[in-house]
A and B are shown apart, each in its own frame.
Chain A
């Protein structure tokens, strides 16, 4: 580089300029990066939660589709509390009846140990359940969910016990899906607020830079620079600042998610399915810093283009 070899005194430019305007030198850039970092941190957490909820709801929905649970209650309206033998007897008979039904794919009779395991979270591990009357449970997988098949099953089991209950999980699943949908909507709204805050922050930061560097902008204008040429400087500046802040924010959020996953593995969560993210969701989360940077660049460009209209 012949050009820059001649200089040897303090106050020389270190390299070819990246920005014509001194926007990267003046104060306020650090604050903007920090703000975008925080916004990205929140956005990654909110989106990760939304994705995990969506995955959980799908797994729940998938695992319960075409499934019904037959419960043989431990109490009977005519005989009072049934003995364990009676319950086992009715359960076995019910299993045989169900296996013969054409609409049934498979029948799984829960053993007493499995039923004890199911009630454990409510009754505790230390309680001796040997003398506690527990209901009989049969998980039935249907070939397809059909009201006629369920009615047929109900009628065929009636002679065994009038108090047999059939749980199609529908109302529980419907409530659960409504709840997860409401949570996802709330997260979407939070995400929108985060996005809007980022845009407002970038617009404010850029406007302040534009005001600080008004004279330099005017010089570029007077030399014949198009508005797009000037806006591009702010656009690149906002992109780089936002990318820097959002990468830090995303890494911080990833660390928090990792710690949460570690902690939740240590805690025996038996009531909820695993909190997992798919590869697609992970890729999407990794793209958030880039999206934040692009959003910042667009916000910067729009702001500058609009404000430049006030100049001659």
Chain B
């Protein structure tokens, strides 16, 4: 379970970009994170993938208060989280294979297993023919699929994705969303930050709606209901 209690975040001495954030993500839940530009989506994602510590409040992940974790415990905690960044953040000098294999190597998995798993996943995301390709030679969509493969290769407990289908054609986008759904069914908690209303409608999951640094959890039924009301 992931628990945020009265969490606030500020950068330096600036104003709070997130204030009094309070929500719970049950294990195996699926949420969309929505909000206008500047609403604090990236900051909230940063807190979720433990790229920052909150300036106030409590964050508890998988039963551990992250404020009390030391560096090594934080690293172990991060190994349970998969992240798809909006700008992919692939390592330029590594091939597609090595980029996807990176989380497994960090976890100390043996090379034989890495080879089997990575190859299989790259085939699945449609990049079986680009195993040795460097990211710089790939299209935005291909890079995004590498980033997604890298995030899911370890079958994380929590998967965070920032606009994961933004650069993909509809067919591949759907396949990847189905992959997220499958992972979710296997128990992975998923949070996807997106502006894609079509996707939100298609996959009927609750939303974490951010507005001006404040968060509101919206259940799908109420949200759909209001959408319907807005339409009529």
Q: Measuring CB to CB, which residues of chain A are less than 8 angstroms from any residue of chain B?
A: 2-4, 6-7, 9-13, 16-17, 20-22, 25, 215-216, 218-227, 229, 309, 312
Contacts and interface: CB of A to CB of B under 8 A. Distances in A.
Give the interface SS of chain A, mostly helix, strand, loop or mixed. loop
A20 B102 contact: yes
B107 interface: yes
A226 B75 contact: yes
B119 interface: yes
B89 A215 contact: yes
A21 B102 CA distance: 11
Contacts of A224: 75-81, 103, 106-107
A12 B137 contact: yes
B52 to A, nearest CB: 6
The bracket for how many chain B residues form the interface is 35 or more
A312 B133 contact: no
Nearest to B91: A216
A220 B106 contact: yes
A17 B95 contact: yes
B226 to A, nearest CB: 35
B105 interface: yes
Given A3-B115, A12-B137, A20-B98, 8 more contacts: A2-B119, A6-B131, A7-B133, A22-B92, A222-B51, A224-B76, A227-B72, A227-B75
A4 B132 contact: yes
A21 B50 contact: no
Contact of B119 (A3, A21, A221): A3
Contacts of B97: 3-4, 13
B131 A17 contact: no
A227 to B, nearest CB: 6
Nearest to B129: A6
Contacts of A226: 71-72, 75
A17 B105 CA distance: 11
B39 interface: no
Contact of B78 (A12, A216, A223, A309): A223
A3 B95 CA distance: 12
Contacts of B129: 6-7
Contacts of B92: 22
